Amino acid sequence: MMDARRLFPVDQVVLREVGLRDGLQLTRHYPTTQQKLDWLSREYRAGVRHFEVGSFLPSTRFPQFADLRVLIDATSRLDGAYSTALTLNERGVADALETQVDEMIFVVSATESHSMANTRRSRAEAIEMLARIDAQRRAGRSDLPVLTAGIAMSFGCSLEGEVNPRDVIDISERAIKAGADVLAIADTVGFGGPAQVAWMVRELRRALGDDQPIAMHFHDTRGLALANCAAALDNGIRVLDGCLGGLGGCPFAPGATGNTVFEDMVFLCKTMGLQTNIDIDGLLAARKVVAASMPDEPLHGALARAGLPKVLEDA
């Protein structure tokens, strides 16, 4: 296993901006490359260091990610910044290995139905592909990118409804055995609540050890993203995904809110006394750039409406 701790140091809260990938997955409009670069550099100046910037998919079908290589290059020129991209098959990995991307995410579903419906692969076949991808990266680039297994539908499934949390632990263990360095546990459809998150984190850490880097990826579909983040942080998770303005809806709930609102997540960390090195005012300024680049997309988030509390304003 490569040292994923370079990207995700122990005991340092890492808030990862996934808007340039997950936030644009479903939007009808998307920013120009120049607007994306502006978004990236403004958030970087506000202190953000981890960016999911796209998905290695055919640009004919996913034009919103056609400039992915430009964004990876731009990120690699920012001191201390890291880029992440989805690589959903060997073709995507081959493309990724020709770039300086720091982290590749391969997605495995927690449920068999979603795995088959989404990728026409069983979960077992997905784990086999993950092992091949691990071998592929080792053959392909001397400075290995981190390989992360994203576990989709970890707290509920759009097809199966309830998900057995033991299945999530099981597939997570298999993903690590197959070669993943990092886990990203995703509540893809926003079904989960904080008690389930707390249980999951404790069981994952028991199964895989406290050394295992684990990211949590929540959606605010049913309003519990920040409660889930708090539960994850309380139980030792230090890597959380979010998106400025909470872009990124849910394909199964039209009109629903999207990813955890990034700026509100930073505020949550501040109230918990956790250092993020991220400046909320800088984020709110960056948010305006995102809004201007996609005027038809509704942005979410409480802090943008209410402003910072007096406590932090004075700080």
Residues designated as active site = 250
Helices in the chain by DSSP H: which ranges?
A: 33-46, 68-76, 90-96, 112-119, 123-140, 165-177, 194-208, 225-234, 262-271, 280-293, 303-306, 310-313
Q: Which stretch binds a second copy (CB under 8 A): 21-29, 177-185, 204-212, 269-277?
A: 269-277
Place of tokens 């943008």: 304
Instruction: Give the residue, chosen from 59, 122, 271, 277, that forms a contact with a second copy under the rule CB under 8 A.
Output: 271
Question: By CB under 8 A, is residue 63 in contact with a second copy?
Answer: no
Q: Which of 147, 243, 261, 290 binds a second copy (CB under 8 A)?
A: 261
**Token pair for residue 130?**
């993950």
How many other C-beta atoms are found inside a 10 Å radius of the C-beta of residue 194?
17
Cα–chain center distance at 97: 20
Q: Minimum CB separation from a second copy for residue 200, in Å?
A: 12
Minimum CB separation of residue 64 from a second copy in Å reads 23
Q: Shortest approach of a second copy to residue 152 CB, angstroms?
A: 15
Pick 137 or 270: Cβ nearer a second copy: 270
Q: How many CB atoms lie within 10 A of CB 305?
A: 7
Residue 307 found at the interface with a second copy (CB under 8 A): yes
Site string for a second copy, 152-191 (x = CB under 8 A): ----xxxxxxx--------------------------xxx
- Find, among 301, 305, 312, 148, the residue nearest to 225 by Cα: 301
Contact (CB, 8 A) for 33 and 47: no
Q: How far is the CB of 158 from a second copy (least distance, A)?
A: 7
By the rule CB under 8 A, 137 interacts with a second copy:
no
Q: Which amino acid is at 213?
A: P
Residue closer to a second copy, measured from CB, 66 or 253: 253
Which one of 39, 267, 276, 278 is in contact with a second copy (CB under 8 A)?
267
User: For residue 61, what are the contacts with CB-CB under 8 A and spacing of at least 6?
Assistant: none
Interactions with a second copy, residue window 67-106 (CB under 8 A): none
Nearest in space to 284 (alpha carbons), one of 32, 21, 19, 46: 46
> Cβ closer to a second copy: 40 or 299?
299
Rounded Cα–Cα distance for residues 287 and 267 (Å)? 15
Furthest-apart CA pair in the chain: how many Å? 54
Cβ contact 214:201 at 8 Å: yes
The interface with a second copy within residues 208-247 (CB under 8 A) comprises 220-224, 226-227, 229-231, 234
Nearer to a second copy, 79 or 314 (CB): 314
Q: Which of 50, 238, 270, 287 binds a second copy (CB under 8 A)?
A: 270
Binding segment (CB under 8 A) for a second copy, from list 13-21, 36-44, 108-116, 263-271: 263-271
| AA identity, residue 237 | I
Q: Which is nearer to a second copy, 146 or 232 (CB)?
A: 232
The 10 Å CB-count burial string (b at 16+, else e) for 60-95 is eeeebbebbbebbebbeebeebbbbbbbbeeebbeb
Phi and psi at residue 213, to the nearest 5°: -65, 130
What residue ranges bind a second copy (CB under 8 A)? 156-162, 189-196, 220-224, 226-227, 229-231, 234, 250, 253, 255-257, 261, 264, 267-268, 270-273, 301-303, 305-307, 309-311, 313-314
